[in-house]
Amino acid sequence: MLFFKQRPWVFSRMIPFRIYSLIAVGVVVTIALYFLLRGKRKTAEDLERERRAMLDEIGRITDGAVVDVQEINTDAEKHATMLIYHYDVAGVSYEASQDVTYLRQRVNLHSCRLGVPASVRYDPHNPGNSMVVSETWSGIRG
């Protein structure tokens, strides 16, 4: 205590240094925790699979028709197969498409032509959210 009474400027210089070092450590720990706890972000394929699973559980079924099947080149190496279909819910007509690239084993694309009847599974709270094919269900009747 005698040391601080003789030199009061030493004590006042050390307080800001300690505060700044504690703030710096706190910021580093916060950033590290953020990156550790935020988890892995879901890919587009994972989100689409979850959407189809949700429609399998809560979806209602209505009649529809396949309008077209199109191959889309997104990149030089990537090709997407889109199934375009039409359906009506409560007097409202919807035209939608579904990426069936990863569901080709469930769909015979050669038999999908204009007007092929299909059952469409849709979300009753959002009828625009729909599908024709999933991993466990297929609505194509043609």
Per-residue pLDDT of the chain (142 residues; tens, 9 = 90+): 555 555 555 555 556 667 788 888 899 999 988 888 887 788 888 888 899 999 999 999 999 998 888 888 776 677 788 888 999 999 999 999 988 887 777 676 666 667 788 899 999 999 999 999 888 888 887 6
Tokens of 110: 């050669």
> What span, in angstroms and rounded, lies between the C-alpha atoms of 21 and 42?
37
What's the chain's length in residues? 142
Q: What pLDDT does residue 46 have?
A: 86
Return the residue matching tokens 């309008």: 67
pTM here? 0.66
Closest C-alpha to 61, from 87, 100, 84:
87
